[in-house]
């Protein structure tokens, strides 16, 4: 299988300028998260991704498609390796990624969850937490964890669950109509 991307330690000192993603962010030479994309014809191009608000960076590849997900310090981008403009963007403070087992990934930040399918389609949950999500697990088709709620001095962490098929959310800091008890 042909290599589709490579995370670089920094901007290349030689060759064509890196493409700023999104356009206009880092055209002055500032360095973000740098990734080289390899085209099917053997050529390549370098992207300089604007960072988000966390320390989490990685690249996820969907081998049977032309889609790649780039997380640049919490900011998410869905890319096609042959296009310099992102197909979509999401997040801002993504801190963890989970494979769901159904060709999709769940990306968790401090406020909500974003699910990205292998075709690059995005679904973003409603706001789940005031400012923090922790101890996330996937069990079957449910994503579960704890959401921070500073307005409750007795129980600051509230359980939540998301049905990955129906996209229904239970519990968390905001959803008072559907509470969820996490064992």
Query: What's the CA dihedral at 40, 41, 43, 47 to 10 degrees?
Result: -30
pLDDT interval class at 29 (50, 70, 90) = low
Entry pTM? 0.88
Q: Point out which residues pair with 137 in neighbouring strands.
A: 144
Q: What whole-number distance in Å separates Cα of residue 166 and Cα of residue 172?
A: 17
Contact residues for 98 (Cβ-Cβ < 8 A; gap 6+):
105, 106, 107, 108, 136, 138, 143
Task: Give me the pLDDT at residue 142, please.
Answer: 95
- Establish whether the linkage from the previous residue to 36 is cis, with ω within 30° of 0: no
pLDDT digits (tens, 9 = 90+) for 153-166: 888 999 999 999 99
pLDDT above 70 covers a percentage of the chain that reads: 92
Helices (H), the chain: none
Residue 112: pLDDT over 90: yes
Neighbour count for residue 152 (Cβ, 10 Å):
12
Band of pLDDT at residue 28, cut at 50, 70 and 90: low
């Amino acid at each position: 299988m042909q290599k589709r991307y490579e995370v670089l330690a920094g901007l290349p000192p030689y060759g064509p300028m890196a493409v700023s993603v999104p356009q206009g962010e880092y055209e002055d030479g500032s360095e973000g998260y740098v990734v080289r994309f390899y085209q099917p014809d053997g050529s390549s191009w370098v992207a300089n991704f604007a960072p988000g608000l966390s320390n989490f960076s990685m690249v996820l590849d969907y081998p049977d498609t032309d889609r790649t997900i780039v997380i640049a310090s919490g900011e998410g981008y869905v890319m096609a390796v042959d296009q310099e403009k992102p197909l979509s963007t999401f997040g801002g403070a993504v801190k963890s990624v989970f494979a769901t087992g159904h060709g999709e990934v769940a990306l968790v930040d401090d406020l909500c969850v974003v699910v990205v399918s292998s075709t690059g389609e995005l679904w973003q949950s409603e706001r789940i937490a005031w400012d923090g999500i922790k101890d996330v697990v996937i069990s079957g088709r449910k994503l579960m964890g704890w959401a921070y709620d500073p307005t409750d001095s007795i129980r600051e962490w509230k359980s939540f669950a998301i049905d990955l098929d129906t996209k229904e959310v239970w519990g968390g800091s905001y959803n008072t109509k559907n509470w969820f008890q996490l064992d």
